[in-house]
Amino acid sequence: MKLQCHRLLIIAAIFALAAAGCEEKRTPTSEPWQLPDRTVDPSSAQWPLSGDRELNSDISYAQYGPRFLPGGYDFHAGIDLYAPTGTNVYPVLPGEVVQRAEWDGQSTGAGNAITIKHSDSLATSYLHLHTINVNVGDRVGLNDVVGTVGATGASYPHLHLGYFVELPNPDVRDERYSRNPLELLPYRNPGEIPYTFKESGEIVLDLPLQSMTVNSVELIAGNESRKADYYDIVAKGWTLRKQQVQYGIHFDAARRTPDHMRFELTVKPANMDFIPERIILRDFNGEVLLDASKE
């Protein structure tokens, strides 16, 4: 009898150790939980590939806003972060998986994608995934691998990161409510922005791709002025935001430099009904990045 009890105690101890070992592994869970309140503190936001808060920790291949594509001009409602296929993807902030979409194997677009809700007002999306490791209803933390980088629906492996505020349906991605993900992520000061006023009326801007925080462009000459805000542009929807003329300003973006550090943005009055003498660039916080006048 004593021997049998001794064996039972040993078996119980083994099961206890196994359970303890399992508890050490971080895995997404579907257990009910309470979302953070609407005033989520973004100070814990991390880069989704490196999983850290170092400045510009992940390399961007495409910025928020006007950009160049082989097929022509485009207005991008997120940022594209390059990494090899299979690279782990982490959530920018803790949250709940509210949307999961699987690629049909043929079409271009989001590919394998998920959306994570961080509060009633904030959400992020992760597109072109090679694999998806979570399901709708899972709650995820900063150390959870929600998927891996891929090229589903895209031409090369990368992660398209979207950031949204005040979605009318917080469980559905809607790019009309997108914001620049750099509002959340730690980045270096953009630094000096070189510019050139051309006699034709065009203004060529040499912008930093990795810290591209420009959110509005204003052209001024005497009593004439035109101003375009990127968030007003994206709110128009997929088709209208891609038009090169926005609020009286014509936009044209050049391809990024080979080192992925900079790109050129050319702006001018749409009808060339005046020659700009001054340009003002502001970031998404309303801070002036550039206030320059023609010499």
pLDDT at 34: 46
Cα(253)–Cα(237) distance, integer angstroms: 20
- For residue 35, what is the DSSP state? P
Q: Helix or strand or coil: residue 12?
A: helix
Residue 205: per-residue pLDDT: 99
Element (H, E) at 278: strand 278-283
Q: For residue 84, what pLDDT is reported?
A: 98
Which tens digits make up the pLDDT trace of 174-213? Answer: 999 999 999 999 999 999 999 999 999 999 999 999 999 9
What are the boundaries of each domain within the chain?
42-183, 195-293
Residue-level pLDDT at 170: 82
In tens, the pLDDT along 89-111 reads: 999 999 999 999 999 999 999 99
Distance CA 38, CA 121 (A): 6
Assigned CATH topology for domain 42-183: Glucose Permease (Domain IIA) (2.70.70)
Predicted structure pTM score: 0.87
What SS3 state is found at 182? Answer: helix
The CA distances from residue 233 to 118, 147, 156, 249, in Å, are 25, 31, 27, 11
Closest to 269 in 3D by CA, of 249, 255, 288: 249
Radius of gyration of the chain (CA): 23
Residues in contact with 1: Cβ distance below 8 Å, sequence separation at least 6, in sequence order: none
What the block records as the tokens of 249 is: 């300003």
Mean pLDDT, to the nearest integer, of 70-83? 97
Instruction: Determine the distance from the C-alpha atom of residue 185 to the mean position of all C-alpha atoms in its chain, rounded to a whole number.
Output: 9
